[in-house]
Amino acid sequence: MERGILHFFSSEADFQAGAAGAELMRKYGVDRRVLGRDEVLKVEPALATFGPNIHGGTFTPSDESGDAMVFTQKLAALCRARGATFLHDTAIARIDTAGGQISGVRVRPVAGGAARTLVADQYVAAMGSYTAPMLRQLGIWLNIYPAKGYSATLKLKRPHDASVVSLLDDTRKIAISRLGDHIRIAGTAELAGFDTSLDGATAQKRCTALVRRYEELFPGVADTSEPHYWTGLRPSTPTNIPYIGRSKIANLWLNAGHGTLGWTHGAGSGQALAELISGQRPALAGFGFCGEALPPTRSFVPVAQPQGKQA
Ligand SMILES: Cc1cc2nc3c(=O)[nH]c(=O)nc-3n(C[C@H](O)[C@H](O)[C@H](O)COP(=O)(O)OP(=O)(O)OC[C@H]3O[C@@H](n4cnc5c(N)ncnc54)[C@H](O)[C@@H]3O)c2cc1C
């Protein structure tokens, strides 16, 4: 949906911080505007009930939103039509090396069955949060940690009173996206290792908090009796900047650690990496690509490894 993204703030301090952030974005060419309360309500009139609590907002008209699952499924179909093969329900068990290079990737169907080795000339490690543990066997220590997030999707009871523009309830760090006759509320970050369960006490609390907040903002607009909950792991780095580029193994490339913005940055990261692997200078100038990739602005910096581990 090409209607922009509107951040709104329910505290003055948050609004001031958001306005300062918007100025920085404008400095780097992003049209992020600072809005007073009335202008916020003009952009998204559905916020009227909550309006008295709003101190201001920022709006980026060029931002887009959508359904990430539909996007990735359609993208996969386009790739298949161009000859790509996807091995679903197949896990990488091991990465083999020979002569200081990757020589193959050992994969096995998750449901069981024979393992086999896939061989290529270049390899890309893009397993989100799982990239870090997977590459440790090669002595590559990446500073990526899973930050668990949740979403709740609700059916709308009164679609005409629901928001259309994508919203960021910035004080609570909750995103609200309109998906036809449904609304999706996403947010929270929990450091819980690789746990992706939804039935624990903390998970349940966080999920119900999303629905409760939606009800505060848009009372009676959605059916809160049958929420569809989902959880995922954001592959987070301390800076929120991903590892893109060549690893210390010449034919192994990295594209991982996209944190809170992996969908937003997915296409650009993929394009830049394809350019690097093809020996071209990426159109995205000035980004600190890893390793010996061009331009050599950022050398590969592994995490300090625990004692006793081999680099
Ligand atoms: C609640 C929530 C809301 C979010 N909202 C936004 C948003 O609004 N905008 C945005 O841009 N981003 C958002 N994100 C972040 C975004 O989802 C991530 O940054 C993105 O998914 C990272 O993509 P990835 O492909 O690197 O990793 P992942 O999406 O984690 O994918 C990694 C893949 O690797 C596979 N894998 C792992 N280990 C193995 C193995 N051993 N063998 C085979 N396969 C393996 C996994 O099965 C998985 O398919 C959100 C995240 C969450 C949790």
Is residue 86, in this structure, part of any structural domain at all?
A: no
Q: How far is the CA of 128 from the centre of ligand 1 (A)?
A: 5
Q: How far is the CA of 274 from the centre of ligand 1 (A)?
A: 19
Q: How far is the CA of 102 from the centre of ligand 1 (A)?
A: 24
Is residue 204, in this structure, part of any structural domain at all?
A: yes
| pLDDT tens digits, 93-127 | 999 999 999 999 999 999 999 999 999 999 999 99
What pLDDT, on a 0 to 100 scale, did the predictor assign at position 292?
55
**Pair type for strands 222-236 and 101-109:** unpaired
| pLDDT tens digits, 183-202 | 999 999 999 999 999 999 99
Q: How far is the CA of 146 from the centre of ligand 1 (A)?
A: 10
| pLDDT tens digits, 161-181 | 999 999 999 999 999 999 999
- Pick the residue whose CA is nearest to atom 12 on ligand 1: 261
What pLDDT, on a 0 to 100 scale, did the predictor assign at position 17?
97
Q: Which residues contact 8 (CB under 8 A, 6 or more apart)?
A: 40, 47, 54, 56, 57, 167, 168, 169, 170
Is residue 172, in this structure, part of any structural domain at all?
A: yes
- Backbone angles phi and psi of 205, in degrees to 5: -65, -45
Is residue 292, in this structure, part of any structural domain at all?
A: no
151 Cβ closer than 6 Å to some ligand 1 atom: yes
Q: Can you tell me the mean pLDDT for 211-226?
A: 97
Residues in a beta bridge with 232: 149
Is residue 302, in this structure, part of any structural domain at all?
A: no
Q: How far is the CA of 233 from the centre of ligand 1 (A)?
A: 6
What pLDDT, on a 0 to 100 scale, did the predictor assign at position 296?
44
Number of domains in the chain: 1
Contact between 152 and 207 (Cβ < 8 Å)? yes
Is residue 299, in this structure, part of any structural domain at all?
A: no
**Interatomic CA distance for residues 210 and 142, integer angstroms:** 32
237 Cβ closer than 6 Å to some ligand 1 atom: no
For residue 198, what is the domain's CATH number?
Answer: 3.30.9.10
Is residue 231, in this structure, part of any structural domain at all?
A: yes
Q: Given a cut of 80, is residue 13 above it in pLDDT?
A: yes
What pLDDT, on a 0 to 100 scale, did the predictor assign at position 300?
45
235 Cβ closer than 6 Å to some ligand 1 atom: yes
150 Cβ closer than 6 Å to some ligand 1 atom: yes
Q: Given a cut of 50, is residue 212 above it in pLDDT?
A: yes
Contact between 145 and 236 (Cβ < 8 Å)? yes
**Interatomic CA distance for residues 65 and 58, integer angstroms:** 16
Is residue 22, in this structure, part of any structural domain at all?
A: yes
With a pLDDT cut of 70, the percent of the chain lying above it is 94
Which of 71, 88, 130, 240 to probe ligand 1 with, by most ligand atoms within 8 A of CB?
130
Contact between 283 and 298 (Cβ < 8 Å)? no
Atom of ligand 1 at shortest range from CA of 259: 19
Atom of ligand 1 at shortest range from CA of 151: 1
Which of 131, 263, 265 to probe ligand 1 with, by most ligand atoms within 8 A of CB?
263
Cis peptide bond prior to 296, omega within 30° of 0: no
Atom of ligand 1 at shortest range from CA of 93: 41
> Residue 185 has which token pair?
């509320």
Q: Can you tell me the mean pLDDT for 76-85?
A: 97
70 Cβ closer than 6 Å to some ligand 1 atom: no
Q: Given a cut of 50, is residue 8 above it in pLDDT?
A: yes
242 Cβ closer than 6 Å to some ligand 1 atom: no
- Pick the residue whose CA is nearest to atom 15 on ligand 1: 260
- Pick the residue whose CA is nearest to atom 16 on ligand 1: 262
Contact between 142 and 132 (Cβ < 8 Å)? yes
**Interatomic CA distance for residues 46 and 55, integer angstroms:** 16
Number of residues that make up the chain? 311
Q: Given a cut of 70, is residue 278 above it in pLDDT?
A: yes
152 Cβ closer than 6 Å to some ligand 1 atom: no
CA distances from 131 to 85, 127, 215, 236, 284 (A): 21, 5, 37, 11, 24
| Range of the structural domain that residue 42 is part of | 5-64+146-236
> Residue 292 has which token pair?
């010996």
What pLDDT, on a 0 to 100 scale, did the predictor assign at position 239?
87
